[in-house]
Structure formats: C-alpha cells, structure tokens
Structure 1
Amino acid sequence: MYLKKHPKTLLVIALVWPEPASTAAGVRMMQLLQVFKNQGYRITIASAASKSEFSADMVAPGYETAEIKMNDGSFDVFVKELNPDVVLFDRFLTEEQFGWRVAENCPQALRILDTEDLHSLRHVREQCFKKELPFTTEAWLADDKTKREIASIYRCDLSVIISSYEMELLTEVLKIDKSLLLLLPFMVDEIGNNTSWKTFEQRQDFIFIGGGKHAPNIDAVKCLKSMIWPLVHKQLPEATMHIYGAYLPQQLLEMHNPKEKFLVHGRADNVDAIMQNAKVCLAPLRFGAGIKGKLLSAMQNGTPSVTTTLGAEGMHGILDWNGYIENDHSAFVAAAVRLYTKKEAWQTAQDQAKTLINTLYDKTSLDSILANSIAQLQQHIATHRKQNFIGSLLQHQTMTATKFMSKWIEEKNRG
C-alpha cells in the first residue's frame, strides 16, 4: 500500500525484468534507473513478465517492485494509488498496453517512452535481409509495426532515442518535432588518462558477445562460422575465436569446434574481464538497430573492433571508429588480421576508444541532459501537450483500438 505521496515518484513499466548480465537492454534500463535515483525519485518497477534467475536484484538499490497484469483493471487501481510523477515505458509494447490506462488514471504524470532501439527498424531490416532485398525507408514506413511504434512516440510526452541514426530517421524522414525526442545513448563512466588497459602483447584471440534471443546476433555468429573465421583462421592458425552469449540456441552451441579453434562458451560470467583479455572484437552484423552493447563494451575495455556499417551505425558520429568498419567479407577479414598483427594499428584503435567514450557516452553530461529535459517538461507540460496535436489526436477514443481491445479481453477473461 502506498499511503503517502513521495516528493518524486517514478513508475517503470518493464517489458521484462532487467537482466543486465544478459542483454544490453538490461544494462540500459539499469542506467536509466540510476539517473532517476540520483535525482531523488522513489522508484517502482512493475512488469507483467515472470522473473528469471538472472533478473537484476531490485531490492539492494532500494527500488520497489510490483507484479501487474495485462488487460486487467487491477492496474488502474494500482497506478492511481501510486500516483507517479513520471511513468517510463520500457519499449513501445508496454505503452500500447498500459499507456491509455496511465493517461486516464494519472493525467498529470509525465509519460516517457524508452525505445531501446526502434523495434520496427530492426524488424523491417531483418525481413529485407531474409528476402535478400535492400532496406529502404519506404519499406520501413509501409510496415504496420512502424505505424504502431511511431503512434506510441506521439502519445508520449518524450521518447528517449538511443542512436543518432534513429534520431535523424525520426526527425528528417518523419519530421517528428524534436521537442518529443531526446537523443540519449548508453551512459558510461569517463575513461581517464591514467586508465590502464592490457597491452597488445598481453592480449590474445578474437571475441564475439551477444545474447541468443536477439536475431542479429544469431546471424552474426553464423556469418563468423561459415564466412569469416575460416579465412582468419587460415592466416592466424594460433588464434582462437571465442563466442559468448546468454540464451544461445542449440544451433549455435553445436558450432563449438576446438579443432577449428571456434569455441562457443555460452553465458559470460564477467563480460569486462573476458573482453579485456581479447585482442580484437569481431561483430559482422548484417541487420539490427540501435546501439550495439558489445561494441560499446569493447570500447570501455580498450578492445579494438571490426564491424559493419550497420554495426557502427549511430555510435561514432563524425569521429573515427576504434578499429575498422567493413561490409565486404574479404575486407572484413583483412581488417581483423591487420588489427591482430599490427601493433601500431591496434594501439591507434585502442586510443580512439577513449575519445569515443568521453565524447559521446560520458555519463555525467548525459545524466544532466536527461534530468534537465524532464524538469523542463514538467514545468511546461500543459503547453507541451497542446503543441503535440497528433499525440492528442491519437488519444481520442476513435483512435484507441488497443484500449478497447484490452477492455474486450478483460471482459472475456471475466466470463
């Protein structure tokens, strides 16, 4: 029971309980929670999903948790009693399900959507890849998931966008007003000049890290096994390719082959320690969206990487990459071998990681940007909502199909 209104209250409606040791999305959510905690918010995380043994401990940081049900009026009672100042939707699917209930029961609450990445963009790119068709913005705009995700963005007061490419897509292609969007990449600690990373001589082998529930990661491992690693291994027979990832499917586990020095380990107990021992990170991503946690982790641990244009998308701005960006398989292999064998090239790439982290991902400055954006919105929320006509249009009863579908399901369940 919430008997007393806290000065500042945040409700996070999570699609799944965060697993920072398993997914980049889990890391992202924990970063956002820390920002609100630093601002003095009382934080409640609610989800309709089941917890796993790898779900983050929410008790130790002082967060409260609640189990909620989809298509159930009990949420109305819960959210009205909590009466949060801010509601953070974890991906557009939670906003579709619970957004209208929040708007009806807590109309003054600031509604924020954390997109994680544009799911519609990732979805359409995967479909184009499978059909061997080039991705186009026209194909993205035509997809039903895109329409749903963009509608969710308009219904919220602010949407947090993780990738600069996705920010450009929303503002330049769809012409969404920038007042509804906030570019906020991963937030990590600054890398000081006295940071001591392992040297070129102290490292060995190649590494790939990626969760097995993420289709782009599965495809990347397949690409490594069949197209890239055989060519790298031929030139560097002493090197080993290490594959790590939570929830790896059987088809990837069966690729484990010590004779080929292609080792599939599964879940990584300590990503930083493993990444710091590797000499080069390989990420031949052929579809996907957002910021790639594995590549940011490589930067944080001074591990040069080779990836594709899509892999590096939205991650380095006008700055040089900390390694190489190659789409052609032969060029990708040549870049991997060059980084592994040429100390000067490797050292230059490692040094560039510090520049990228400190310029684009500095936690202190990004924390302030988010906190200031929220404070400004809260001061002028009535004016902000009046200016978002499309958002108010989508809240109209004639446009709220998800609301009435939910009510129908609720009545059906009662019967």
Structure 2
Amino acid sequence: MGDCVMTFQIGGTSNLSKASAGNEGAAPSVRVAIPPRSLLVLRGAARYTWQHGIPEPDDFLSDRRLAIIFRRVKGVPDIAMASTPDVDDSERVETSKGIKANDEASVFSALEAAGNPQLVLFDGFNAEERFGHYVREKLPDAMRILDMQDFHALRLGRERLIAEDASAGAVASYLPTAFDEDLQRELAAVHRCDVTLAISEHEKELLVDTYGLPSWKVVAAPFGFDCSSEELPSYEERRGAMFIGNWRHRPNRDCAKWLIEKVWPAVRQRLPKLKLSVYGANQTPEDAALTQENVGAYVRGYCRSVEKAMQQHRLLVAPLRYGAGVKGKVLEAMQHGLVVVTTPVGVEGIAPPDEFPGYVVETGAEDPEAFADAIAEALRDPSEWEVRQRRASALLAESFDATRLEEELRDYLRERWQRLAADRQRDFVGQMLWHSSLRSTQLMAKYIAAKEQAGTLQQTLDK
C-alpha cells in the first residue's frame, strides 16, 4: 500500500472530520462515518494535504471506539499499532469490555491488509492483553512494543489511598506490591512484549530497579515538544489562572473539584479579583455545575485551542492529588509560557520538586491554604514570574525536545530490531509467560469470540 495510514474499525462508530489544510474556516469540513468492521485508508493528499482527525464526542456516554491503526514510521521497519482509544484505562476493565468484534479472522485480516508489519505497537496493556496473542501467532517474528502511557497500577493504587484519606506524603511515596492484581496484569504485559516504552526515566527506573525488568527491554519515551524559540506573551499581556484536563480521566476530575471547592475560595481571600478558568473535554452536567461565580471559578468546557487559551493566562494551577506518568498539561504550560503551581505528583517524571522552575507545594494535595499561598507568591513579582518562565523554557529544551527524542527512540528501536532473536533467547520470564498454561488472555479472547459468534448464529436462527 506504500506510505499510508490504515484504520481497521472493530467496535463503535466514529466520524472522521476532514478539512483542507491551511484553509481552516474557509471551506466546510467533511465528515465521514466509519462503521464497525470497516477499513479506512488515508494516503497521498488525503493524508498530507487535508487535516483529519476524530472529533471529541459531544456526549459523554457516546459509543466507545475500538480500532487498530497502522502507520509507517521513518527509519524503522513497518509498524502497526493495536489501540483501544476510547476505553478508560483508569477503570479496571476486563479484557472483553467494549469489544464488539475481536475474532481471530478480523485481526488477521487487518494485519494482512497492513502488509504484515515487522513492528507492532500496543497502545496500553489492555491492548496487549486483547491482541498480543493474535500478533504473536500471525507474526511471530514481528517485534512487539508496549506503550505504557503511564504506570496504571501506580495511579490506581494512589487513587485508593485518596479514598482512604491518606496523607499527601503517603500517596506520593506509594508503590504497588507483588500482591496487587493491577500490577500483576500490567507487568505480565510488559514481560510478554519485546520492548516497553515508559513515559519517563522515573517510571523506567521503577520498572527496572523496583520490579526487576531487564534494562534492555525498557526505554524512556517521554512527550516531545517543538522547542524552537518564539516570543511568548509577557506577564502584562496575560490574565488569571487556568486548569485543563479531560474530565473522563478521574485524576483530572478529582483535581478540578478540589481546586474549585477547596483551593479557590482560599485564593480569593488573598487575591479577590483573580479568576480561574477550567477547561476539559467530556464534561458532564455535574462537572459544569462546579462553576462558582461568587469566587471567580468558571468551568469553560472543551478548549478548541489549547495554545490560545494558555497564552492568555499567567498560571497553570494543578493541585493534583494522585496520578502517574508525565503530566502533559504541565509540559504544555511550560511550552506556552505559563508559570506552573502544582504538587509533587504534578512534576513526577519532569524534574525533582526542588529543581522544577515553577512552584511545587509538598502539602498541596491536602492543604488548600498552602496551595493558595503559593499561587499568591507566584503572582507577587512580575520579574520573578519572567525568570521562572525562562527557566521552564530551558528545561523543556534540555529534556523534552521532540527532534532529539525521536532520533534517540529510532536508534534504540533499530538496535533492538537487529538483535531481536538473540534478546528473546535470554528473555526467560517473557518466554515463560507465553507458555500455554499461562495464556489466560488468549483463552479468554477466544472464548469471547466464540460466544459472540454463537449469539449471532442464535439471532439468525430466531429470525
């Protein structure tokens, strides 16, 4: 098929929105429905001349989407990505949840349509559980790569501690034990794959030093940003503070609620005119009702231009009480010139708290007054604000430059590809987990497929 992107829609119906690149607003966009069991191929002008994407659903309870996406990556062998993009991984979902057609023939057909790629990327451990055995059976020589996104077991464990009213220190220092079922599932997927992409050096170190993964199987692959210098709006050209995060992600909802209900009233006692704007997709009526005009806290809904919104504000305030991974909102804020006020969880994987260029409130996840003090301090001196803005830009360029990170990842994958066969011979735990007696995910998937086929047959007979 050459240079193209292919999407095999397994479950749920999506609407692809396309508009001519460079003419946004000048010509109407085109919406194309992608029903289940359909194959979408984008190549040539459709891929490069026209902007395309899956819009955020207006309805929080809209149909889930399940798809396998194939694309070519420069400098490495052909790569396929198995993805379950609309399944909320913050929930403990079973491997069958949200799947409407995951039988062996469908997955094999999708892999064949992609030209039997040599690299397969699983977008989260749930995707590996669902598709890993199919890929191994159909493409035994392909390199299987797991993108962890973040350390799910760590995030879920911290969430349980929040529910138990644990201290901020206990939440920040928590590590799952060997008895944690979420950890068992996640580490099993990591071991079954040839390569795991960790979102930060911090989570790579956890996998290697705490949980015993071979260091050669894990690589840090953090978010990358365009770090070319550009003139950012000054302190005087900006106003107020903001928070942004998808409401469907529970740490974001918890943070926004804590910020509006507990922190912001304390902020207004110090800065009576300071306003807060909270942005995020997948907002429910209950989320919108959090707006408190009497203290200047407004829930704005979906943000159509993150860059524009961020460059209008002075501060990103993110009193995150739990979570894992690297917070993209914090890095984007640094890119667009905001000074960040957050907690130790908010800077995890970015910088040690005492080296972060913004303000890290050690007790901010449990002490609204301390967090409010930090916000007031961040706005006290415009010259200090500008110093911290410059330091944030320097940190971003040093650690999160997209061009450098892409080159490093490409070199790593090329090296791993060349020694794949030898590495598998020394990967004793990974090969052990593929032993037939331990393939519970494969057996479960085959059971689900057989059950769905039986249900379809019964419906036909009933007619």
Normalising by structure 1, we get a TM-score of 0.85
Runs of at least 4 residues off by over 3 Å: 6-23, 33-51, 133-141
Which residue does 1:409 correspond to in 2? 448
- Name the SS of the counterpart of 1:141 in structure 2: coil
Q: 1:366 aligns with which of 389, 392, 405?
A: 405
Contact 1:14 1:46 in 2 (8 A): no
In the alignment, is residue 348 of structure 1 matched against residue 387 of structure 2? yes
Correspondence for 1:94 among 115, 118, 127: 127
User: Is residue 344–residue 353 contact of structure 2 (8 Å, CA) maintained in 1?
Assistant: no
- Choose the corresponding residue for 2:75, options 39, 58, 70: 39
Letter in 2 for 1:299: M
Structure with more strand by fraction: 2
Cα distance in 2 for residues equivalent to 1:219 and 1:167 = 26
Match status 1:307 vs 2:339: no
Identity of aligned residues (%): 30
CA distance in 1, matches of 2:10, 2:217: 21
Does residue 1:84 correspond to 2:84, yes or no? no
Report the aligned-residue RMSD.
Answer: 3.1
Residues 321, 349 of structure 1: 8 Å contact kept: no
What code does the residue aligned with 1:84 have? Answer: P
- For residues 362-387 of structure 1, what are the alpha-carbon distances to aligned partners after superposition, in whole Å with 9 as ceiling and x for unaligned? 11110011101111111111001111
How far is the alpha carbon of 1:250 from its aligned partner?
2.4
Range with bigger deviation, 231-240 or 389-398: 231-240
In the alignment, does 2:305 pair up with 1:270? yes
Partner amino acid, structure 1, of 2:109? V
- 1:183 aligned residue: 220
Mapped to 2, the partners of 1:343 and 1:220 lie a distance apart of: 27
Which letter maps to 1:188?
A: F
Are the equivalent residues in 1 in contact too, given 2:71–2:79 (CA < 8 A)?
no
Contact kept in structure 2, 1:12 and 1:90, CA below 8 Å: no
Shift of 1:7: 9.7
Aligned to 2:159: 126
Distance 1:365 1:12, change over 3 A: farther
CA offsets 1:221-247 (integer angstroms, 9 cap, x no match): 111112210111122112110000001
Identify unmatched segments of 5+ residues in structure 1: 24-32, 52-66
| Cα distance change, pair 389–43 in 1 and its aligned pair in 2 (3 A) | closer
Task: Provide the rounded CA distance (Å) in 1 between the counterparts of 2:86 and 2:397.
Answer: 37
CA distances 1:156-211 after superposition (whole Å, capped 9, x unpaired): 1110001222112111111211111001110111242xx21111111110100011
User: How far is 1:132 from its partner?
Assistant: 2.2
Query: Which residue number corresponds to residue 332 of structure 1?
Result: 371
TM-aligned CA deviation for residue 300 of structure 1: 0.5
- Asked whether 1:396 is paired with 2:435, we answer yes
- Structure-to-structure mapping, 1:103-142, within 5 angstroms: 103-133=136-166, 134-135=170-171, 137=174, 139-142=176-179
Identify if the C-alpha distance between structure 1 residues 8 and 219 changes in structure 2 by more than 3 Å, giving closer, same or farther: closer
- TM-aligned CA distance change 1:158 to 1:8, over 3 Å: farther
Deviation at 1:80, TM superposition (A): 4.3
Q: Retained in 1: the 8 A contact 2:200–2:221?
A: yes
In terms of fraction of residues, the more helix-rich structure is 1
TM-score by length of 2: 0.76
Instruction: Give the direction of change, closer, same or farther, for the CA distance of 1:40–1:113 in structure 2 (3 Å limit).
Output: closer
2:79–2:119 contact (8 Å) kept in structure 1: no
After superposition, what is the alpha-carbon deviation per residue over 1:42-97, rounded to whole angstroms, capped at 9, x for unaligned?
6666656679xxxxxxxxxxxxxxx9932443212332453111101000000001
Q: Distance in 2 between matches of 1:251 and 1:9?
A: 38
Aligned match of 2:318: 283
Q: 2-side partners of 1:371 and 1:217: how far apart?
A: 32
| Alignment equivalent of 2:265, drawn from 230, 238, 244 | 230
Aligned pair 1:245/2:280, yes or no? yes
Does residue 156 (structure 1) correspond to residue 193 (structure 2)? The answer is yes
Distance 1:11 1:111 in 2: 19
Q: CA 1:380–1:15 in 2, change beyond 3 Å: closer, same or farther?
A: farther
Q: CA–CA distance in 1 between the matches of 2:296 and 2:5?
A: 52
Whether the 8 Å CA contact 1:244–1:265 is kept in 2: the answer is yes
